[in-house]
Structure 1
Amino acid sequence: MGEGVEWALHTCLNLAWVDNDRAVPTATLAAFYDLPPAYLNKQLQALVRAGILSSTSGPRGGFRLARRPAQITVLDVVTAIEGPQEAFECTEILRQAPGGEQGADYRATCVISQTMRQAELTWRRELAGRTLADIKSTVEERFPAVPGQTRNGLGKTRT
């Protein structure tokens, strides 16, 4: 996964601590972690297209969560940034191996393909089972000062 997934997850979590009626500009969100605004904006636009964030233009514009944190899974964010394609693509190279059969479906019979597919299904199931609300709750429990620090930090860097 690219760094955009990390940036998107942290940004969504930060937006979960901001008042719902307040949009936060890209520049403010980027400055919070010293990220390049143009690249972060690309990730934020992908989240808007996926219905995870909403955006408002104008002087009071920016981004906010489009859904409640309990309705946003980690998989939703990963898929919005990385796309829905599978992480492992079996190209059926066994067909070219000595004894390979041209008509065989090696995706269904190859042990490596099956292992990788099972691992990906497990990974996707785990990400689909964790929501932004779960992460928010865990952070609040382990690091109770973070929500306030985040709100203050985003308020101070607002442009």
Structure 2
Amino acid sequence: MGRGVEWAVHSCVNMSWTPPGEAVNSARLAELYKLPAAYLNKQLQALVRAGILTSVSGPRGGFRLARRPESITVLDVVLAVEGPEPAFRCEGILGVVPDADREENFVRTCLISQTMRQAELAWRQALARQTIAGVAGSMERRFPGDRDKTVRHLAAGPP
């Protein structure tokens, strides 16, 4: 999984903290985490295409959540950034070993493939149970002052 997922989840949490209707300037967000602004913007655009964020133009423009943070799962963000393809792709290499049954569907019957598909299903289910609101709430409890510091930084306007 690429680092863009981490950036995107943090960005969504930060946007869940901003006052309703306010857009977050992507350059200001990139500055907060010392990230390359163009690459962060690419991740935010992927979230717009997935319907997680909306893009707001104009001098006070930027990005904001398109849905309530309770209805955005971490899996939604992962899929928006990484795409829906499975993390493990069985190549069916058992089909090329000597004496292999050429009619066998090794993608379905290979025990390694089955193990990996089961693990991915568990991983996706766990991420689907976690919402941006839940992550934000956990962060607020663990680091009580971070929300206010982050909101102040983002509200300061473009860097």
TM-score (ref. length: structure 2): 0.97
Match of 1:123 in 2: 123
CA distance in 2, matches of 1:141, 1:114: 39
Aligned partners of 1:56 and 1:108: how far apart in 2? 45
CA–CA separation in structure 1 for the residues paired with 2:92 and 2:11: 39
The SS at the match of 2:91 is coil
Query: Counterpart of 1:46 in structure 2: which amino acid?
Result: A
Report the 3-state secondary structure (helix = DSSP H, G, I; strand = E; otherwise coil) of the residue aligned with 1:8.
helix
1:87 aligns to 2:87 (yes or no): yes
**Secondary structure, in 3 states, of the residue corresponding to 2:116?**
helix
Cα distance in 2, alignment partners of residues 31 and 11 from structure 1:
12
Aligned counterpart, 2:55: 55
Cα contact 2:25–2:154 (8 A) shared by 1: no
In the alignment, which residue of structure 2 is the partner of 1:26?
26
1:3 Cα shift? Answer: 0.6
State the 1:40 CA deviation.
0.6
Instruction: Give the equivalent residue in structure 2 for 1:46.
Output: 46
What 5-or-longer segments of structure 2 have no aligned partner?
Answer: none
C-alpha displacement of 1:91: 0.9
- TM superposition shift of 1:158: 3.2
Amino acid at match of 2:59: P
Q: How big is each residue's C-alpha offset from its partner over 1:85-137, in whole Å with a ceiling of 9 and x where there is no partner?
A: 00000110000012211110111211000000000000000000110011011
State the distance in 1 between where 2:108 and 2:38 align. 42
**Quick check: 1:54–1:64 contact (8 Å CA) kept in 2?**
yes
Runs of 4+ in 1 over 4 A off after TM superposition: none
Following superposition, the deviation at residue 54 of structure 1 comes to: 0.4
Distance 2:32 2:155 in 1: 10
Q: Which residue in 2 is equivalent to 1:137?
A: 137
Q: Is the 8 A contact 2:25 2:157 kept in 1?
A: no
The percent identity for this pair of structures is 57
Unaligned runs of 5+ in 1: none
1:41 maps to a residue whose letter is: N
Contact kept in structure 2, 1:31 and 1:157, CA below 8 Å: no
CA–CA distance in 2 between the matches of 1:152 and 1:57? 21
- Secondary structure (helix, strand or coil) at the match of 1:141 reads helix
| 1:2 matches 2:19 | no
Shift of 1:18: 0.6
Q: What is the root-mean-square deviation in Å for CA atoms of aligned residues?
A: 1.0
In 2: Cα distance, 1:21 partner to 1:108 partner: 47
